Amino acid sequence: MGFFSKTRRSHASLNVPALVQVAALAIILIRALDLLMIFNLLGVGGLEEFVHRSVQTWTLTLVFLASLVLVFVEIWCAFSVVKGRNWARWLYLLTQVIAAGYLWAASLGYGYPELFSIAGESKREIFRSLVMQKLPDLLVLFLLFVPASSRRFFRLQ
């Protein structure tokens, strides 16, 4: 009858700091809002055309699928961050570096600028637009890495 007995934990678990909860919720909401804005901008026909254009060649298909995997990894990181997994915040940082690096390179003409790029006349204008686009993600990274309560939470878990 071990199913009905109480189980005791050998250690107490820490409460998740509010800043970590806000960061995890922000990751999920930012990605959901991104998808909603894309659906609103393109509509059903535009979305079908976007997917059709994304699978024209193997390289474009790889880039398209990699971007989808990146979104799912970011959402997975959000759930793992709340559980106190230190690797999740580092993985989220890595996803942001990869996404920003690819956007920067695609906007400068490397890769496939017609699908994933930022419009701009000069490198400075493209960089400014990239920073403005990534500002919410930078704020989330700030909440995960800078406050002492966040660092202590990840160190103790």
pLDDT digits (tens, 9 = 90+) for 71-83: 999 999 999 999 9
Judge whether residue 131 has pLDDT over 80: yes
pTM (whole model) above 0.75? yes
Residue 4's pLDDT is 57
DSSP letter string, 85-122 = -HHHHHHHHHHHHHHHHHHHHHHTTSS-TTTS----SS
Quote the pLDDT of residue 104. Answer: 92
**pLDDT > 90? residue 98:** yes
Residues in the chain: 157
Q: What CA–CA distance (Å, rounded) separates 92 from 87?
A: 9
Please, which residues have CB within 8 angstroms of residue 91's CB and are 6 or more apart in sequence?
73, 77
Which conformational region is residue 43 in: left (phi greater than 0), alpha (psi within -120 to 50 degrees), or beta?
left
Q: What is the pLDDT of residues 26-55, one digit of tens each?
A: 999 999 999 999 899 989 999 899 888 888
Rounded CA separation 107/122 (Å): 10
